[in-house]
C-alpha cells in the first residue's frame, strides 16, 4: 500500500465503490463497469478491459472493454497464457509493460486488427480465494507516460473490489437458483409446474391466459404433443377465481369407455358386477374448481353426448343411477388432434366442439419460439442438477447452437428429456453437443429415417423441408415458392401430394 500522501480523489473513489458493492447484487455488470471506469480514470489510461477466465477452457474473454475501440475488442478472446493478460492470469501476478513492442508476451494481433496502437499495459489479476478469475488491464498511460508502481497498487485495490463484486454476484445467483428450485418443488407438491415463457410469442399467450382466466367459459387448448398444454391449463386455473378450489385432471384416452364413464361421473353400488361400492366421479371431485379433460379428441361418442349435457346443464347422472347430480365446475379441455377435421369426418360431435371451443387457445410448437430454448434448457438443467446432485454449469456455445437449431418434433417434453439425459452422462462442467445426441440437420441421430426406405426418407425430408419453408414465410405460397426457386403451381401440388397442413 502507498502509505504517505494518499490521493484524496482516489481514496474517495475507493470508498464510493465499496458502498456500491453492497447494493448492486442484481446488476454485477453495471458495478464492474463502474469499477473499470474509475480505475481507468485514476490510473490515467486511454483504454481498458476487464477479462474473465472461462472455467472450462481457462481462456479469457473480454467482458467489458472501454476506450475508442472498446466495442470491437469484445469480439476477441485469448487462449490460455496468451498475451499479457493471459500471462497475468496464468501466473496470477501483476505486470507492467511500458513498451509492448519490446515484450514478446504482447499479443499484437488484436491491436493490429482493430487498428489501435498499444504502447503500454498495466495488468493485474482479480482473485477469489487466491484463484485468478479474471484480469483488469489498463492500456496506454496518457501523454505517452509510463505506468508506475503506485498505479499498480491502486489497480490491485480495484481488482480486489471487482473480485468481490463477482463473488457476490455468484453467491447471489446461487441463492436465486436455489429459490427457483424450491419454488419449483413447492409447485410440484401442489401438483403444479413452473411455466417458463421467455419468447414474445409465449408472453402473448400468457396475456391471453390471464384474460381467459377471468371468465368462466370452457376453453379448448390446441397444440402439438409436448408443447405444454397441461401447463397452460394449470395457469388458467391458478389465475382464475377458482384457484383455491381443486384442479382435477382426466385423460380421456387412458381408459376404455365404461371405465372412463365411471371415472368421470362416478357410479352407484351394483351398477356393474365389480362395482361393490359407490364411487365419486371426477366431475364431483372438481366441484367448486376446474376439471381438465386431456385428449378430449379421444372421447368416445356415447360420452360425448353425456359431456354435452354436463356443459349445458351442469348436471349428470352417476352410472347406475337416475338421480341428477349438480356441480359447479369450469371445463378446460386439450387436444393434439385436429378436432375441426374430426368434426367434418363425423367422429366428433359438432355441438360439443362448439361448446368446448368457446375460448380456443393454441400453444405454439417450440420451433416457432426458439427464444424459449435457452431459458427452458437452463430451467431443466437446474432441476436435473438438483435431482442428480450434480453441478453442471451450463452448455458450451456449440451445444447451445445445436439446441437452437434443432427442430424439436417432440417439443418441450423432448427438450426436457434431452437435458435430463445430458446431465446424467455429463462428466464435465459444461454440456457439449455429444451429450445432447442431436445433430444439426434437425433430426435426432438415427431417429426419424431409421428403418425407412430411401424413397420414404426422401418424401419425409421433402415434407419437413417444405413445411419449414412455408412456416418461415408465414404460409405465403408465392413467397415460399420464390425462395425455394420453384413455380407456385408446383409448390401447391407438392403441398397436396405431401399432405402438408
Ligand X SMILES: Nc1ncnc2c1ncn2[C@@H]1O[C@H](COP(=O)(O)OP(=O)(O)OP(=O)(O)O)[C@@H](O)[C@H]1O
CB 263, CB 281: distance < 8 Å:
yes
Paired residues of 221 in beta bridges: 334, 361
Return the half-sphere exposure (C-beta side, CA atoms, 13 A cut-off) of residue 82: 16
Cβ at position 363, least distance to ligand X in Å: 6
Nearer to Mg ion, 415 or 422 (CB): 415
The answer to whether 349 contacts ligand X (rule: CB under 6 A) is no
The answer to whether 223 contacts ligand X (rule: CB under 6 A) is yes
Cβ at position 263, least distance to Mg ion in Å: 17
Among 31, 88, 96, 195, binds ligand X (CB under 6 A): 195
The answer to whether 412 contacts ligand X (rule: CB under 6 A) is yes
Nearer to ligand X, 142 or 501 (CB): 501
- The CA–CA distances, whole Å, from 330 to 191, 210, 354, 367 equal 18, 15, 16, 31
Number of H helices, E strands in the chain: 20, 17
The answer to whether 193 contacts ligand X (rule: CB under 6 A) is yes
Cβ at position 23, least distance to Mg ion in Å: 45
Full DSSP string of 34-65 = HHHHHHHHHHTEEEEEEEEE-TTT--EEEEEE
Nearer to ligand X, 76 or 292 (CB): 292
408 binds, among Mg ion, ligand X, none (CB under 5 to 8 A by kind): none
Among 230, 234, 298, 416, binds Mg ion (CB under 5 A): 230
Which residues 374-393 are close enough to bind Mg ion by CB under 5 A? none
* Dihedral class, residue 311 (left if φ above 0, else alpha if ψ from -120 to 50, else beta): alpha
Q: State the SS3 of 457-488.
A: HHHHHHHHHHHHHHHHCCCCHHHHHHHHCCCH
Which of 409, 411, 416, 418 lies closest to 460 in space, CA to CA?
409
- CA–CA gap between residue 166 and residue 296 (Å, rounded): 51
Pairing of strands 290-294, 330-335: parallel
Binding range to Mg ion, per CB under 5 A, among 99-107, 135-143, 223-231, 453-461: 223-231
The answer to whether 39 contacts ligand X (rule: CB under 6 A) is no
Among 28, 228, 297, 433, binds ligand X (CB under 6 A): 228
The answer to whether 226 contacts ligand X (rule: CB under 6 A) is yes
Residues 443, 231, 235, 348, CA torsion sign: positive
Cβ at position 412, least distance to ligand X in Å: 4
Which residues 379-398 are close enough to bind ligand X by CB under 6 A? 379
Closest residue (Cβ) to Mg ion?
Answer: 230
Q: Which residues bind Mg ion (CB under 5 A)?
A: 230
Q: Which residues bind ligand X (CB under 6 A)?
A: 193-197, 223, 225-231, 336, 376, 379, 412-413, 416
Amino acid at each position: 500500500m502507498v502509505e504517505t500522501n494518499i490521493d484524496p480523489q482516489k481514496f474517495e473513489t475507493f470508498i464510493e465503490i465499496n458502498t456500491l458493492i453492497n447494493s448492486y447484487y442484481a446488476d454485477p455488470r453495471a458495478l464492474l463497469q463502474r469499477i473499470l471506469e474509475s480505475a481507468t480514470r485514476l490510473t490515467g489510461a486511454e483504454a481498458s478491459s476487464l477479462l474473465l477466465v472461462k472455467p472450462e477452457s481457462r481462456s479469457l474473454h473480454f467482458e467489458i472493454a472501454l476506450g475508442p475501440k472498446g466495442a470491437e475488442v469484445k469480439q476477441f478472446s485469448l487462449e490460455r497464457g496468451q498475451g499479457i493478460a493471459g500471462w497475468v492470469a496464468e501466473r496470477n501476478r501483476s505486470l507492467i509493460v511500458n513498451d509492448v513492442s519490446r515484450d514478446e508476451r504482447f499479443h499484437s494481433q488484436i491491436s493490429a486488427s482493430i487498428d489501435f496502437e498499444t504502447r503500454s499495459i498495466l495488468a493485474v489479476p482479480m482473485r477469489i480465494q487466491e484463484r485468478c478469475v479474471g484480469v483488469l488491464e489498463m492500456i496506454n498511460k496518457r501523454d505517452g507516460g509510463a505506468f508506475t508502481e503506485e498505479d499498480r497498487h491502486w489497480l490491485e485495490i480495484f481488482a480486489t473490489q471487482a473480485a468481490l463484486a463477482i463473488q457476490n454476484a455468484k453467491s447471489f445467483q446461487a441463492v436465486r437458483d436455489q429459490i427457483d428450485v424450491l419454488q419449483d418443488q413447492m409447485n410440484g407438491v401442489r401438483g403444479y409446474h413452473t411455466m417458463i415463457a421467455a419468447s414474445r410469442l409465449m408472453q402473448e399467450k400468457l396475456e391471453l391466459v390471464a384474460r381467459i382466466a377471468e371468465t368462466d367459459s370452457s376453453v379448448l387448448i390446441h397444440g402439438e404433443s409436448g408443447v405444454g398444454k397441461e401447463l397452460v391449463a394449470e395457469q388458467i386455473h391458478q389465475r382464475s377465481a377458482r384457484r383455491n378450489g381443486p384442479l382435477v385432471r382426466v385423460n380421456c384416452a387412458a381408459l376404455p369407455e365404461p371405465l372412463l364413464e365411471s371415472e368421470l361421473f362416478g357410479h352407484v353400488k351394483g351398477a356393474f358386477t365389480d362395482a361393490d361400492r359407490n364411487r365419486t366421479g371426477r366431475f364431483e371431485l372438481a366441484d367448486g374448481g376446474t376439471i381438465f379433460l386431456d385428449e378430449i379428441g379421444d372421447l368416445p361418442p356415447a360420452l360425448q353426448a353425456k359431456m354435452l349435457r354436463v356443459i349445458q346443464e351442469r348436471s349428470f347422472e352417476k352410472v347406475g343411477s337416475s338421480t341428477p347430480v349438480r356441480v359447479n365446475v369450469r371445463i378446460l379441455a386439450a387436444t393434439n388432434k385436429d378436432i375441426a377435421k374430426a368434426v367434418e369426418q363425423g367422429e366428433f360431435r359438432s355441438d360439443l366442439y362448439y361448446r368446448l371451443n368457446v375460448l380456443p387457445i393454441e400453444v405454439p410448437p417450440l420451433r416457432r419460439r426458439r427464444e424459449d430454448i435457452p431459458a427452458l434448457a437452463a430451467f431443466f438443467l437446474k432441476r436435473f442438477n438438483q435431482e442428480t446432485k450434480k453441478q453442471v454449469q451450463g452448455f458450451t456455445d456449440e451445444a447451445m447452437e445445436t439446441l437452437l437449431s434443432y427442430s424439436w418434433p417432440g417439443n418441450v417434453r423432448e427438450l426436457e428429456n434431452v437435458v435430463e439425459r445430458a446431465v446424467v452422462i455429463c462428466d464435465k462442467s459444461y454440456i457439449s453437443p455429444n451429450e445432447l445426441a442431436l445433430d444439426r440437420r434437425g433430426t435426432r441421430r438415427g431417429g426419424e429415417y431409421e428403418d425407412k426406405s430411401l424413397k420414404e426418407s426422401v418424401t419425409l425430408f421433402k415434407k419437413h423441408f417444405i413445411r419449414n419453408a412455408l412456416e418461415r414465410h408465414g404460409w405465403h405460397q408465392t413467397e415460399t415458392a420464390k425462395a425455394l426457386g420453384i413455380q407456385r403451381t408446383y409448390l401447391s401440388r407438392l403441398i397436396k401430394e405431401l399432405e402438408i397442413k
